[in-house]
Amino acid sequence: MATYGYARVSSVSQSLTIQQEALKAFGCEVIRAETYTGTKVEGRTELETLLQFARAGDRIVVTRIDRLARSIADLSGIVKRMEAAGVILVAIEQPIETSTPAGRCFLQMLGVFAEFETNLRRERQMEGIAKAKAEGAFKGRKPSIDATRVRELAASGLGGTAIARELNVSRASVYRLLGVA
């Protein structure tokens, strides 16, 4: 039975060091770490490597479950994969160990709170953006395509593919601007 650690931060401005040190102190033989958002599982190659590599009786250890997932659906999917393989999930800073009924119960409760926190953060962000737009401080990103130029080229007889090639943009962007379905 092996003990593997998983550390994750969301952005390059954050440090993995504290998590890695805690996992090492816990006794993790191998620690996989990555910088990637926790709001989705796709693209998290280090996590995927651990999930594929771990065998029955092994433990995958995280410092907190929010390092593993930020939504109930993702957390549930990850835990189901681990359980199907006979792998135990342990969270060092929380009383979670999926080999016990109490640990599984606490895992589900914390998963609900992690998703709630993510939704609150998203809501606050959207409120801030709406306020900034209303005050004229937020205009979004600059357009990546010159709408006037697209219409001029279309009026001159060029098709969507030719316009896209000319302006080095996607055909979908051209068709969206021209209102073509």
pLDDT of res. 43: 84
> 112: which residues sit within 8 A by CB, 6+ positions away?
72
Residue type at position 119: N
Q: How confident is the model at residue 177 (pLDDT cuts 50, 70, 90)?
A: confident
**10 is annotated as an active-site residue:** yes
Catalytic residue, from 10, 71, 76, 99: name it: 10
> Given the structure tokens 């606050």, which residue do they identify?
124
Q: Identify whether the C-beta of residue 20 lies closer than 8 Å to the C-beta of residue 7.
A: yes
- Residue 181, pLDDT > 80, answer no
pLDDT at 122 over 70: yes
More confident residue, 3 or 122: 3
Beta bridge partners of 34: 8
Task: Give the pTM.
Answer: 0.64
Instruction: Choose between 40 and 34: higher pLDDT.
Output: 34
Alpha helices in the chain (DSSP H): 17-26, 45-53, 72-84, 101-134, 147-155, 160-167, 171-178
What is the average pLDDT score of the chain?
89
Domain boundaries, the chain: 3-118, 147-178
Cα–Cα distance, 106 to 96 (Å, whole number): 6
Name the 3-class secondary structure at 7: strand
- How many residues can be counted in the chain? 181
Report the sign of the C-alpha dihedral through residues 116, 119, 121, 127, in that order.
Answer: negative
Structure tokens of 180? 């073509």
State the pLDDT at residue 21.
Answer: 97
pLDDT digits (tens, 9 = 90+) for 53-109: 999 999 999 999 889 887 778 888 899 999 999 999 999 999 899 999 998 888 888
CATH 3.30.70.260 fits 3-118, yes or no: no
Phi/psi at 34 (5° precision) = -155, 160
